[in-house]
């Protein structure tokens, strides 16, 4: 634990020197350390911090002062009212709407306590693809019951609102934000909500995106739609989080769309509107460059949206510790420039909330980084391993932490290295299908739109000779990304169409480098199995150990599937031989292509998927 003591001392030295807001706290050293705070919520966070230190065996030898870097630290649940969870891989929704408000599950308080333990202070209960029924009085009473449970844990409740609710449940002919009747309807609805839930946080809105209604349907801008809602909720202290996830069919480059649509609106949003922007410019890919919109809206409050649930990272089957990804984002995007941070939750009604035992580490890491983005991924992983897995030897603790730190890069390697993106099977986004071409699908939903592989090379030209997405980035990034010589290898095929035989900075040809990454990713998953098995005697929870061991086996098989399918497909296009270090494929390309990965065949009832494929 000595290393943790040193890290904590450094973190304390970097903290604020005074209790700065209602969530801040101070821990005074002594035989029985004392927590001081200006509010019950601050005291709760301080007590949780003290509990964490005690559990880790760290003594409080100096005064600790801590304040959150972000005032809003919010989980976005993509839960539907029928109990399903969009992009959820941990069972059904935690919220049992049929039983609420009469029956309140004890798991709700357990969930809130786990959020409070890492400083999460808000939860959006329902899917951004929202049903307007959540705003009916029947459901608002259910929401009130949850808010009453969460309040002692410092958590506010928020709701995703369907912009067309005045039409869908209000009987109005339109939802035009400049229609006075629409404004009155929203005003009455907000008043009703605050009468039930006085500390209601506000609305999250997905508008004019993927078929969702919005102000553009009525000839109005995103700013006009958001500002109308902001005006009716302002008297109650509420906020509007307006998602910037928009893209239009037929445009030259989907990666440019959010910037093109929202940048011209900078300065037009009210000061209780926060534009919520995905961390990358496309869609939660295993690796993306940061979204330029996050650093180029100086007249607008913004907040990054991270995905904790592993939609594009092997669902609940794969070990993918995401703190390195999020820390990578904050190395580009200053936390001081953001109004908050949101995370799409990976929580369901499974026995441990997240299905994969290691997926709980991502929930934990999100909260810890939302409080203090300067924390290192290793420190957070070490805390989590010590607190949750409790290995009985330092050697096993080190081995598990090392697995976690390596895992995200391994996933990138065996799925989409060097800037490749969106090579997934259609719809459910599990498994490789770079040849995917379902009838009637939009071009920008298909892998070929992104990889652009041909006989010459592979990659999306986003330089001035292509879509010019690089021009959306500030210096020095725009210049660096535009240069094939200077562009970091991890983004190379994101910004450039590179010849198969071109030499890259490592001295390898692109084809050799691509093969190297895929092979390395597979090797890492096999090493994870070896590392985890070596820890068996030091993990007391044998059920957990077996659960992780089974999932690591699935991950290793999936990694081979990804490597073989992608490389065979690209080889069919380029006609090149595989380097000697590439392990021969398990199946032929025709066999991989013959497997129907249509969404109707996607089932994952017990954490296993299409086992016959592997």
Phi, then psi, of 192 in degrees rounded to 5: -60, -45
Task: Please state, in angstroms and as integers, the Cα–Cα distance from residue 245 to each residue in 185, 293, 299, 439, following that order.
Answer: 26, 11, 19, 25
Cis (ω within 30 of 0) for the bond into 476? yes
Q: Are 227 and 265 in contact (CB under 8 A)?
A: no
From CA 609, how far away is CA 405, in angstroms rounded?
Answer: 25
From CA 520, how far away is CA 537, in angstroms rounded?
Answer: 28
> What confidence score (pLDDT) does residue 609 get?
41
List 311, 397, 444, 564, catalytic entry: 311
Regarding the domain delimited by 72-389, which CATH topology (the fold level of the hierarchy) does it fall under?
Answer: TIM Barrel (3.20.20)
Does residue 601 have a pLDDT over 70? no
Q: Can you say whether residue 25 is alpha, beta or left, with left for phi > 0 and alpha for psi between -120 and 50 degrees?
A: beta
Q: What SS3 class is residue 28?
A: strand
Residue 86 annotated as catalytic: no
Phi, then psi, of 269 in degrees rounded to 5: -85, 145
pLDDT single digits (tens) 511-545: 999 999 999 999 999 999 999 999 999 999 999 99
**DSSP result, 329-387:** HHHHS-GGG-SEEEEE----SSTTSSSSTTHHHHHHHHHHHHH-TTS-HHHHHHHHIII
Cis (ω within 30 of 0) for the bond into 463? no
pLDDT single digits (tens) 443-462: 899 999 999 999 999 999 99
Cα three-residue angle 546-550-554, rounded to 5 degrees = 165
Q: Confidence class of residue 596 from pLDDT cuts 50, 70 and 90? A: confident
From CA 242, how far away is CA 248, in angstroms rounded?
Answer: 17
Q: Looking at the whole model, is its pTM more than 0.85? A: yes
Residue 210 annotated as catalytic: yes
Regarding the domain delimited by 413-460+497-613, which CATH topology (the fold level of the hierarchy) does it fall under?
Answer: Alpha-d-glucuronidase, C-terminal Domain (3.90.1330)
Q: Confidence class of residue 250 from pLDDT cuts 50, 70 and 90? A: low
From CA 535, how far away is CA 514, in angstroms rounded?
Answer: 32
Does residue 595 have a pLDDT over 90? no
H helices present in 434-509, as ranges: 447-451, 477-482, 492-495
Q: Are 572 and 585 in contact (CB under 8 A)?
A: no
For the chain, the structural domain boundaries read 2-66, 72-389, 413-460+497-613
> What confidence score (pLDDT) does residue 440 get?
85
Q: Are 403 and 531 in contact (CB under 8 A)?
A: yes
Burial class (CB in 10 A: 0-12, 13-18, 19+), 45: buried
List 217, 283, 502, 591, catalytic entry: 283
List 181, 188, 210, 479, catalytic entry: 210
Q: Confidence class of residue 1 from pLDDT cuts 50, 70 and 90? A: very low
Residue 283 annotated as catalytic: yes
Task: Please state, in angstroms and as integers, the Cα–Cα distance from residue 382 to each residue in 13, 323, 399, following that order.
Answer: 20, 12, 10
């Amino acid at each position: 634990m000595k290393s943790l003591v040193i890290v904590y001392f450094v973190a304390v030295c970097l903290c604020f020197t005074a209790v700065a807001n209602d969530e801040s706290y101070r821990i005074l050293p002594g035989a029985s350390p004392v927590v001081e705070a200006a509010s019950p919520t601050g005291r709760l966070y301080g007590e949780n911090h003290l509990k964490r230190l005690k559990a880790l065996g760290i003594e409080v030898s100096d005064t600790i002062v801590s304040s959150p870097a972000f005032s809003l630290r919010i989980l976005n649940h993509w839960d539907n009212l029928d109990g399903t969870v969009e992009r959820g891989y941990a069972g059904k929704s935690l919220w049992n709407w049929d039983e609420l408000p009469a029956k309140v599950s004890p798991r709700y308080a357990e969930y809130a306590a786990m959020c409070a333990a890492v400083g999460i202070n808000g939860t959006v209960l329902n899917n951004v693809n929202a049903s307007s029924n959540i705003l009916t009085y029947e459901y608002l009473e259910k929401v009130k019951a949850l808010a009453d449970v969460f309040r002692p844990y410092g958590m506010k409740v928020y709701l995703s609102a369907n912009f067309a609710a005045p039409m869908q449940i209000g009987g109005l002919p339109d939802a035009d934000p400049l229609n006075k009747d629409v404004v009155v309807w929203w005003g009455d609805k907000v008043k009703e909500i605050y009468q039930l839930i006085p500390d209601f946080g506000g609305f999250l809105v997905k508008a004019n995106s993927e078929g969702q209604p919005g102000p553009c349907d009525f000839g109005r801008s995103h700013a006009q739609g958001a500002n109308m809602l902001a005006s009716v909720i302002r008297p109650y202290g509420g906020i509007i989080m307006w998602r910037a996830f928009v893209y239009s069919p037929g445009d030259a480059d989907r990666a440019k769309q959010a910037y093109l649509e929202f940048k011209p609106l900078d300065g037009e949003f009210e000061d209780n509107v926060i534009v919520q922007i995905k961390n990358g410019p496309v869609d939660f890919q295993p690796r993306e460059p940061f979204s330029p919109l996050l650093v180029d809206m100086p007249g607008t409050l913004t907040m990054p949206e991270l995905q904790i649930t592993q939609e594009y990272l092997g669902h609940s089957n794969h070990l993918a510790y995401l703190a390195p990804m999020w820390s990578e984002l904050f190395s580009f995007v200053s936390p001081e420039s953001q109004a908050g941070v949101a995370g799409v939750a990976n929580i369901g009604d499974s026995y441990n909330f997240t299905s994969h035992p290691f997926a709980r580490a991502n929930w934990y890491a999100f909260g810890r980084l939302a409080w203090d983005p300067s924390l290192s991924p290793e420190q957070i992983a070490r805390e989590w391993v010590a607190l949750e897995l409790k290995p009985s030897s330092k050697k096993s603790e080190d081995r598990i932490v090392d697995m976690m730190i390596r895992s995200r890069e391994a996933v990138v390697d065996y799925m989409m290295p060097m800037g490749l993106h969106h090579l997934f099977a259609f719809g459910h986004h599990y498994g490789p299908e770079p040849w995917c071409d379902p009838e009637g699908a939009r071009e920008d939903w298909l892998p070929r739109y992104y990889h652009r592989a041909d006989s010459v090379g592979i990659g999306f030209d986003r330089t001035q000779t292509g879509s010019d997405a690089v021009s959306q980035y500030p210096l020095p990034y725009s210049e660096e990304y535009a240069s094939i010589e200077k562009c970091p290898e991890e983004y190379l095929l994101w910004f450039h169409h590179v010849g198969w035989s071109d030499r890259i900075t490592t001295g390898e040809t692109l084809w050799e480098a691509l093969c190297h990454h895929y092979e390395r990713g597979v090797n890492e998953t096999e090493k994870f199995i070896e590392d985890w098995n070596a820890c068996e005697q030091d993990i007391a929870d044998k059920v957990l150990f077996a659960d992780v061991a089974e999932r690591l086996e699935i991950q290793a098989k999936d990694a081979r599937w990804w490597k073989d399918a992608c490389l065979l497909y690209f080889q069919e296009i380029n006609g090149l031989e595989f380097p000697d270090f590439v392990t021969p494929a398990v199946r032929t390309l025709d066999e991989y292509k013959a497997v129907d990965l249509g969404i109707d065949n996607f089932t994952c009832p017990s954490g296993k998927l299409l086992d016959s494929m592997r």
